[in-house]
Chain A
Amino acid sequence: MSDCVKSKKLFLDALYHELNDEQQSWFDAHLEKCNKCAKEFAEAESVIKVMDKRRLYEPDAQYWKNYCARLSNKIENVSKPVPVWKEWWNSLVHILIFKPKLVYNPIAAVLLIAVGMFIGREFFSPEYAVQEEYNVPDQSVFESRIQKYLERSKVILSSIVNYDPATDDIYGLDFSSQKEVSRQLVKEAQYIGSGLLYQQREELLELILDLQLVLLKIIQFENGGNEFEIELLQSGIKSSALMLKINLEEIDRITRKGSF
């Protein structure tokens, strides 16, 4: 290891006077020999000195004396139960004002799908179209695709539900992979949805459509996703009991398999 590389390793500790005697004397000796390192260190030292001049507000004793009383008031206010409908209403108003895209885009997407389904049902022969596209006689393939779709959706939903903004690393907030998978699942949902419509399995179709709405919202996440969007989605998933519905459907499927 060259002396300059070694001095770089000691640089920060030297800056904050945390080297032991031996390290300090080696570091000082190196700075005497190496102008480049000496200059770099002097510059950094001068920044530290300037930053030491920063003066921050000093609250008085009265402020600290009343600190806990103010906190108690806040805790009391928060502890009062807020009706769920009010929470939902506030979130909706907030989104409509600040992020209208989040509401209008999924609604537009769902409407588009609904219109497509309506046109398909009313103006084209549904039996022929679905049969040709989904190869309905091969029911086991169709069922395994549904199973896979539910499993993958569950993983995505779990990553959203388990995100805890209070303790998770906010720098690591990145849902780009979930967005990509959600895109694939939305495409898959179109296939599965049409198949279920053809087979008139309304309950499962409803679950698939609910999931599609959540997946569309994940696709709409700005950048990697932010805490507000995630919290909103978490409450949506919770209130519509989506995880429970998926679990029940899976149990039902296992039971049916067992009975065959």
Chain B
Amino acid sequence: MKEEQLLIRRARSGDSPAFRMIVEYHKKNVYYFALSMTGSHYDAEDISQEVFLKLYQSLDKIRGEAKLSTWLYRVTVNTCINKKRKKSLSALKFQENSIIDEMGNIQNYEDSRTGNPEQYTELSRINMHIEKALKKITHKERTIFVLRHYRDLPLKEIAEILNVAEGTVKSTLFRAIKKLQKELSFYTKETEMENAK
């Protein structure tokens, strides 16, 4: 934490290598969080770069009371919301296209590992349904679920990022799981049957 504050202070005074070190340290966290939120590599790239651009422009405002990662996650959440608004404003259907693009990538990725066409078709099908289910829950529910499930953050830190009470995070996460369960009931029953065996 002390080292981080020192880096921020150096970056604030115009030390480019210090800023680069900050980016190097946090880039994967921000990118993968944005990717888990949007499901699209292209959006995640745009969002994560925009977040670091905002960091660069806000270096003077960062006081170092909270962890930098908390600030970055918070700005990523806001940037994801703005990106979604801008998309709906320009009436482009990136979301649907991005799923297709990402599916293409996933298929290649799985194909190269398994070499089993049936398996990757099945995985792609599940993946598509998961993406659709995640898009059906509210943005807040998705944010909390992604931070807990895919970024493995404790509920207390999620509450800090979203500036809400821990109880709110718990109830929202619970609701998100219930909704996902409804959306993915076909697969959950399959899993339950597998477990019963």
A140 interfacial contact with B, CB 8 Å: no
A43 touches B181 (CB 8 A): yes
The complex places the Cα of A51 from the Cα of B173 at a distance, in Å, of 14
B58 interfacial contact with A, CB 8 Å: yes
Interface of chain A residues 44 through 83 with chain B (CB within 8 A)? 44-51, 53-59, 64, 67-68, 70-71, 74-75, 78
Contact count A vs B, C-beta below 8 Å: 118
Interface of chain B residues 88 through 104 with chain A (CB within 8 A)? 89-90, 102
A113 interfacial contact with B, CB 8 Å: no
The complex places the Cα of A67 from the Cα of B27 at a distance, in Å, of 8
The complex places the Cα of A47 from the Cα of B23 at a distance, in Å, of 34
B18 interfacial contact with A, CB 8 Å: no
The complex places the Cα of A171 from the Cα of B27 at a distance, in Å, of 25
A50 touches B188 (CB 8 A): yes
Q: SS class of chain B's interface: helix, strand, loop or mixed?
A: helix
A58 touches B123 (CB 8 A): no
B102 touches A75 (CB 8 A): no
Q: Which of B155, B184, B187 contacts A12 (CB 8 A)?
A: B155
Q: Which of B41, B53, B187, B192 contacts A74 (CB 8 A)?
A: B53
Chain A residues near B170 (CB-CB < 8 A): 12
Stretch at the interface among A119-127, A131-139, A162-170: A162-170
Kindly provide the distance from the CB of A2 to the nearest chain B CB, expressed in whole angstroms.
18
Kindly provide the distance from the CB of A20 to the nearest chain B CB, expressed in whole angstroms.
15
Contact mask for chain B residues 161-197; partner A; CB cutoff 8 A; 1 contact, 0 none: 0111000001001100110110010011101100100
Chain A residues near B58 (CB-CB < 8 A): 166-167
The complex places the Cα of A71 from the Cα of B19 at a distance, in Å, of 11
Q: Which of A54, A171, A172 contacts B127 (CB 8 A)?
A: A54
Q: Which of B31, B102, B195 contacts A42 (CB 8 A)?
A: B195
B105 interfacial contact with A, CB 8 Å: yes
Interface of chain B residues 71 through 96 with chain A (CB within 8 A)? 71, 74-75, 77-78, 81-82, 85, 89-90
Kindly provide the distance from the CB of A52 to the nearest chain B CB, expressed in whole angstroms.
8
B123 touches A78 (CB 8 A): no
Q: A42-B192, A49-B191 are in contact. Are A12 and B173 (CB under 8 A)?
A: yes
Kindly provide the distance from the CB of A232 to the nearest chain B CB, expressed in whole angstroms.
13
The complex places the Cα of A166 from the Cα of B53 at a distance, in Å, of 11
Kindly provide the distance from the CB of A197 to the nearest chain B CB, expressed in whole angstroms.
40
Q: A57-B109, A166-B54 are in contact. Are A43 and B36 (CB under 8 A)?
A: no
Nearest A residue to B108 by beta-carbon distance? A57
B35 interfacial contact with A, CB 8 Å: yes
B151 interfacial contact with A, CB 8 Å: no
Interface of chain B residues 13 through 62 with chain A (CB within 8 A)? 20, 23-24, 27-28, 31-32, 35-36, 39, 41, 49, 52-54, 56-58, 61
B157 interfacial contact with A, CB 8 Å: no
Q: Residues of B at under 8 Å CB distance from A?
A: 20, 23-24, 27-28, 31-32, 35-36, 39, 41, 49, 52-54, 56-58, 61, 71, 74-75, 77-78, 81-82, 85, 89-90, 102, 105-106, 109-110, 123, 126-127, 130-131, 140, 148-150, 155, 162-164, 170, 173-174, 177-178, 180-181, 184, 187-189, 191-192, 195
Q: List 24 A-B contacts (CB under 8 A).
A: A12-B155, A12-B173, A12-B174, A46-B189, A46-B195, A47-B184, A49-B191, A50-B187, A53-B127, A54-B130, A54-B131, A55-B110, A56-B36, A56-B106, A57-B105, A64-B28, A68-B24, A71-B23, A71-B52, A165-B82, A166-B75, A167-B74, A171-B164, A172-B163
Interface contacts beyond A43-B192, A53-B127, A167-B75: sample of 13 additional A-B pairs, CB < 8 Å, sorted by A: A11-B174, A47-B180, A50-B187, A51-B180, A64-B27, A64-B28, A68-B23, A98-B89, A166-B58, A166-B75, A167-B58, A167-B74, A169-B162
